[in-house]
Amino acid sequence: MSAAASSTVLQIGPLMPALEVALREQHTVLTAQATTADAPLADSADAARVVAMVTSAPVGVPAAWLAQLPALKVVSSFGVGLDRLPLDAARAAGLPVGYTPDVLNDCVADLAMGLLIDGARRIAAADRFVRRGDWLQGRFPLSTRVSGKRLGVVGLGRIGQAVARRAAGFDMAIAYTKRSPAEGVAWRHEPSLLALAEWADFLVLTVAASPATHHLVNAEVLRALGPKGLLVNVARGSVVDEAALIACLQSGELGGAALDVFEDEPRVPAALLALDNVVLAPHMASGTHDTRQAMADLTLANLHAGLAGEPLPARAA
């Protein structure tokens, strides 16, 4: 890796500690924050040496930076979210952009099912009930069965299919919505999100964040899911109109929600914190040792392929 050791890489924002160590062992690393939108580096000589950028999905890369790094060969992102990456500008410049799909599918799907079961059977609420000593005063309220229910999946990509496969093990009826029917699956395609919500007992969101999916799940969809329905979000907070979600949960128009993502992370609205029919997780769907290491490995593989002028193992643009 002698050539790599002489390469100058720009790290944008914090990364997984083991990935930061690997970068520093193999490259000369400069750092920047994506909030400094005017320029990545104050020193033009440093900017001229940068041949790669490594970032993460929550941080991304300001599009204007691409033109300010004349030697740039590749952008490698830790994560699957693409909404903060300048894909159009990178394509126009012929610049490869790598990301880390597939390696996190199982862990995200596992957490989606965990949130679904918790939201339906109220496991976290029952834990609080026991810890408060409320069991001494009476029995915990009845909850909702999971097996045999109707599952609607919004966005049947890799993660959505992994969720559906797990739900099949619970003997659920499964339907999904996306722009066009997915190839090679037997589950029912429902073109209308509203119709899917009206049909489903549980609605799981795995769709990518984009301008087209901003507030895709609005008050009308939540009311269609109904007072016995459960919303599970392991996608992005922007996919749900959070104000409408809170209003529907407070009014009883929606039965419950199980959320791993929020519109303004890590700031979770106090109204959600106050609701007992909501399960809250800190954007942890891919947060296992196994998956994060696999993501770090793929981030490095994309980086090194780009520096060598080879095809990226996982290319977003």
Give the angle 51-53-55 at the CA atoms, nearest 5°. Answer: 170
> Which is catalytic among the residues 25, 91, 132, 265?
265
304 is catalytic: no
Q: Which are the contacts of 162, defined by CB distance < 8 A and separation ≥ 6?
A: 105, 106, 108, 109
Helix (H, G, I), strand (E, B) or coil at 2: helix
**Tokens found for residue 5:** 């050791």
Buried b (16+ CB within 10 A) or exposed e, 58-67: bbbbbeebbe
The sheet that has 173-177: what strands, in order across it? 188-189, 173-177, 150-154, 202-205, 230-233, 256-259, 278-280
236 is catalytic: yes
C-alpha 207/C-alpha 108 separation (Å) is 12
C-alpha 115/C-alpha 118 separation (Å) is 5
> Which is catalytic among the residues 236, 242, 263, 304?
236
310 is catalytic: no
C-beta of residue 204 within 8 angstroms of C-beta of residue 159: no
Q: Which residues are catalytic?
A: 236, 265, 283
